[in-house]
Amino acid sequence: MTAAQETLDVTVHRGTTRGACYDSFQVPAHESQTVLDVVSWIQQFADPTLSYRFACRVGMCGSCAMMVNGTPRWTCRTHVKKVAADGKLMIEPLRNLPVIKDLAADMDPFFDKWTAAQGQHHPSQTRHDPIEPIDPGDPLRVEADLGVECINCAICYAACDTVAGNPDYLGPAALQRAWTLLNDSRDDGRGAILDAVSGTGGCHNCHSMGSCTQYCPNELNPMRAIAGLKRETAKSFFKGKRNA
Amino acid sequence: MLDLRLYMLQRLSALVMAPLVLGHLAVMIYAIQGGLSTAEILGRTQGSVLWFAFYGLFVFAVSLHAAIGLRVIIHEWLGLKGPVLSVLTWGACAGLLVLGLRAVFAVTVP
């Protein structure tokens, strides 16, 4: 985008999974403008029927994730000048998910897989037990801590080519959550987790292409977590548990 | 489309194949360098239990490994699943096994 350029050429996905088209808008260009600012301008000043999702606007909730010029991004934390040097933007809903309308992706399959991977906490104690001391320097705790900052924005899920080719695949976020719980001494679901990630849609489908790790806005490493799950399930296989 | 059992089968077959590939390459280079004729090669392999076991194991490992790899490609690129995918997977395995074992028998059985 040059200094003299006063408008952005913005192409926006409209419609649902069943029928979609693209609309073009001319949006005033500003200094320090985010992609979410652009989408909001269109909704407020050009077409109030445009549907999209956002909440915190500061990169904490992850709800504004969309495809920007083919790349999954948090739109609230993406400056236009960094992704659209020529002043052209293509904005679409997150890949690999059904579309509710326009830019709002249906997150149900993403969270269903999170549950299918046993992403929920499996308590090892009750509220009547004394509080268990946790050593932050313990190697297992350090490994668990690597994944706890995931906010479930589904950027990694949209970036994953394995999900694109294999819709049953649980995906990077759900598997990273499973790995986090597997290393959490307070979680008592080891058997259930290893079973859950060993099925036909499990961690063994990952081709280690690394898009999840490359695009994660929180700089997490789901590929490392999936490699860890592969190691643990392989160990359980050799111990005679054919289904982990 | 890979569960733990198929994943382990593919990794373990790769583990078996790795030294056999090196052995096969070494044999080929040796045979070419020494200028062995077809008759001389067959003279060494026919009736040899060692060469039968070497290439027989190789064929088994390749058939399993390749069939599981093809299964993933077929599922991800063509979207096939269920019984159709299983038939294609194990059909490819059986085909490779038949072709490979025919060759093994041809060069090792007198």
Do A242 and B2 lie within an 8 Å CB cutoff?
no
Say if A198 is an interface residue toward chain B (CB within 8 Å).
Answer: yes
Share of chain A above pLDDT 90, in %: 93
Dump pLDDT digits (tens) for A15-38. Answer: 998 899 999 999 999 999 999 999
The nearest CA of chain A is from the CA of B78 a distance in Å of 9
Query: Do A65 and A91 form a contact (C-beta atoms < 8 A)?
Result: no
Q: Which CATH architecture best describes the domain A7-105?
A: Roll (3.10)
| Nearest CB neighbour to B4, from listed A166, A168, A237 | A237
The nearest CA of chain A is from the CA of B96 a distance in Å of 23
Which superfamily is assigned to A108-238 in CATH? Alpha-helical ferredoxin (1.10.1060.10)
Query: How confident is the model at residue A144, as a pLDDT?
Result: 96
ipTM above 0.85, yes or no: yes
DSSP readout, chain A?
Answer: --TT--EEEEEEEEE-SSSEEEEEEEEE--TT-BHHHHHHHIIIII-TT-----S-SSSSS-TTEEEETTEEEEGGG-BHHHH-TTSEEEEEPPTTS-EEETTEE--HHHHHHHHHTT-S--BSS-TTSPPPP--TTSHHHHHHHTTTT-----HHHHH-HHHHH-TT---HHHHHHHHHHHT-TTB--HHHHHHHTTSTTSGGG-----HHHHH-TT---HHHHHHHHHHHHHHHHHTT-TT-
Q: Where are the domains of chain A?
A: 7-105, 108-238
Q: How many CB pairs under 8 A join A and B?
A: 39
**pTM of this prediction?**
0.91
Sign of CA dihedral A79, A85, A86, A91: negative
Query: How confident is the model at residue B38, as a pLDDT?
Result: 87
Assess whether pLDDT exceeds 60 at residue A52.
yes
Dump pLDDT digits (tens) for B5-54. Answer: 999 999 999 999 999 999 999 988 988 887 888 898 899 999 999 999 99
Dump pLDDT digits (tens) for A178-226. Answer: 999 999 999 999 999 999 999 999 999 999 999 999 999 999 999 999 9
Assess whether pLDDT exceeds 70 at residue B103.
yes
Residue numbers of the domain that contains B43: 4-108
Number of domains in chain B: 1
Assess whether pLDDT exceeds 50 at residue A227.
yes
CATH of the domain at B46: 1.20.1300
A160, A166, A197: which to substitute to probe chain B, counting the most B Cβ within 10 Å? A166
Report d(CA B58, CA B56) in Å as an integer. Answer: 5
| pLDDT bucket at A3, cuts 50 / 70 / 90 | very low
CA distances from A149 to A65, A142, A154, A222 (A): 16, 13, 13, 11
* Rounded mean pLDDT, A147-162: 97
Query: How confident is the model at residue A243, as a pLDDT?
Result: 52
Chain B positions touching chain A (beta carbons under 8 Å): 1-8, 11, 72, 75-77, 81
| Nearest CB neighbour to B5, from listed A168, A230, A242 | A242
